[in-house]
Amino acid sequence: MNGLEPRARPELGTRQAGLRLRRLQAAVAAAKLDGLLLVSGQDGKYNVGSAQAVAYLLQGASNREAAEAVHLADDLSDAVVLVTPAGLAAYMPRAETAAQVYELLGETAPGMQVWVPTREEVADPDLAEEAKLGAFVQMLRGKFALGMPWVVPPVGGEEKGLKAFFSKPPSPMELEQWPLLNAYGLEGVGRAGFFTQNFKVTDMYAQLQEQIYSQVDGHAMEHVMAEVAPTMHQHWFEMMKVVGQKAPGSAAAALTERQVLEPLISYFSYGLLRPAHGVTQAVTMMPPRVLVGARTNNDKASSEALALGAAPGAAPGCPAVHFVAEAADGRGALRCARTYFLSQGQLTRNPFADVEEEAEEGYSFDTATASWDGDDAVLLMRTYAAVVAGARAAMAHFAADTGADVKSARAAAVGAMCDTADALGVGRAAVERSAKFAMWECDHMNHVEGAAVKGSRRLKVVRLSVHDIKSRSVSHAGKLLGAVAYADTFLDAPSGTLLNVTACLPPLVAFSVGGAEAAVAARAAASFAALAAA
């Protein structure tokens, strides 16, 4: 759809894999540890933290994937990896996998050691286990302080329950139940005794989540652009189709807010079905919704079974002429908002009309449209154009200007918005006094981290709106029209480049819904169909 279908899953390249290894090495060095030990599969009691780290480093797991119970590929399900401050050691169950690891990380860690069982050992399970244990003993020689991501919080759960879990984490003695660690302590194998007595073990699960996985790197951003964003875009265009396929004409006016919202709420709800470890499933910042007419002025309102044609307008008998749609990814940081219109703001005579036929019908364009007034739609469109200009100026400033912060971004937004409002005849004061600006960032677990921080390597959302817009129409001047809003998700790249993830969603769309305008549009469509069939 519009070239936005999800593309093939991006492969992890050598450069990005090398950067990820360096981040893990830096974390090990900062914690003053000898290594980060990852034991996947049965020998690590299927430890989720180890699987996540292996998938992050070798499979390219990114964003929300890094907080879920990762399914490792078969050739990695029995792997053991030790990341040291300056190197890498690993046991791989297959020679082919070892070759791939060398190809992926050889340039970054030229001195890395990878142990592989022989063909004879692979053919005999007992010999294979001995080979793995022998490799494990060798990679731990000279090591005394190890980090392990073993304290894994429960799946989903309430925030209160997660806090209670971390206040009294499991005992390190649980590590003694891991088959590989237990076998290491057997007499004549490694250092005799309990593993946790021979090594100082530090849990690194939370540190990896907060400091490593939450950072959007090149591969993670490629994943967002190739898979995550196109999925949201697809549902957004489905939402547009819901209205567009029934307009022009009265059928669109019968649609309710909830019916228009359906593609967006289905997408959001589906994202909540698969909970992740340590992630509280909750709606935070911009839940999906569609609000029509004066209801757009209420930031706390939710979509209702209210028909577009019955939504409150500026005055009795005046239908609503706009709606605000907001979308959210249930599994990630993506958010967007647009203001679309139920009126074109102008009337055009039917270019396909048969004048003589209309005369015989007794139809008169001037008579049929005598009471039509497009002033409200034009005012809202011009105000919205100023809002779009302001939000985009804020993103550009935040990405490009050294020292930019939320305060300076707001100033850039308000300045551009007011200048555009003046140029379009709306007036600076009309938009400045009721503008609402917000810019925040989210981590990979969809936790809102607060005000956006330049260079934080997290996705940001900017939202700008103008409320309390009053009609200037002669017939109902001063009556409330509602609000207009615009939001995008973006990343400020280290180079100063702005990556706007939701930029391709149309900023402005106008449908002809209800009243004289819809009747004129319907007649034009019928005339064109008759002309085409002739």
Express each pLDDT in 128-141 by its tens digit.
999 999 999 999 99
Shared-domain flag, residues 99 and 194: yes
Give, as one character, the DSSP assignment of residue 443.
Answer: -
Dist. CA 410–CA 463, nearest whole Å: 10
Please compute the mean of the pLDDT values over residues 264-286 and round it to a whole number.
76
Q: Do 77 and 172 share a domain, yes or no?
A: yes
Residue 121 lies in a domain: yes
Check pLDDT > 70 for residue 480. Answer: yes
**Chosen domain end from 189, 213, 237:** 213
Among the candidates 213, 235, 261, a domain finishes at 213
Which two three-digit tokens encode residue 188? 């004549």
Write down the pLDDT at residue 370: 66
Q: Is the dihedral of CA 220, 225, 231, 236 positive or negative?
A: positive
CA distance 163 to 441: 22
> Do 459 and 319 share a structural domain?
yes
pLDDT in tens, 21-62: 999 999 999 999 999 999 999 999 999 999 999 999 999 988
> What confidence tens digit (pLDDT) does each residue in 358-404 have?
777 888 777 776 667 788 999 999 999 999 999 999 999 999 999 99
| pLDDT higher than 90, residue 294 | yes
The pairing of strands 498-500 and 480-492 is antiparallel
For residue 1, the model assigns a pLDDT of 32
For residue 16, give the nearest of 209, 220, 208, 229 by alpha carbon. Answer: 220
Residue 368 shares a structural domain with residue 252: yes
**Within-domain flag for 7:** no
Count other Cβ atoms within 10 Å, centred on residue 392. 23
CATH number at residue 379: 3.90.230.10
pLDDT at 284: 57
* φ and ψ of 301, to 5 deg: -75, 155
pLDDT tens-digit series, residues 316-332: 767 889 999 999 998 88
Same domain (yes/no): 303, 408:
yes
Q: Is residue 219 part of a domain?
A: no
CATH number for the domain spanning 200: value is 3.40.350.10
Task: Tell me which residue has tokens 């079905």.
Answer: 273
Tell me the per-residue pLDDT of 140-178, one tens digit each, with 9 for 90 and over: 999 999 999 998 877 765 555 556 666 667 788 889 999
Q: Which of 183-187, 283-287, 346-350, 463-467 has the lowest mean pLDDT?
A: 283-287
Closest Cα partner for 339 from 251, 466, 512, 502? 466
Whether residues 207 and 309 share a domain: the answer is no
8 within domain boundaries: no
Q: Is residue 6 part of a domain?
A: no
On whether both 200 and 320 belong to a single domain, the answer is no
User: 117 is in which domain, residue-wise?
Assistant: 14-213
Give the pLDDT score at 2: 36
Is 352 part of any domain? yes
Reading the block at residue 83, the tokens are 């990341």
pLDDT cut 90: percent of the chain above it: 61
Spatial separation of the C-alpha atoms in residues 202 and 169, rounded to whole Å: 12
> Across residues 248-261, what is the average pLDDT?
84
142/66 same-domain check: yes
- Over pLDDT 70: what percentage of the chain? 92
Residue where a domain stops, chosen among 154, 189, 213? 213
Q: Is residue 222 part of a domain?
A: no
Q: Is the same domain home to 298 and 204? A: no
Number of domains in the chain: 2
Whether residue 207 sits in one domain with residue 251? no
319-332: string of b/e by CB count within 10 Å (b at 16+)?
Answer: bbbbbbbbbbbbbb
Please check whether residues 161 and 304 belong to one and the same domain.
no
Residues 188 and 258 in one domain: no
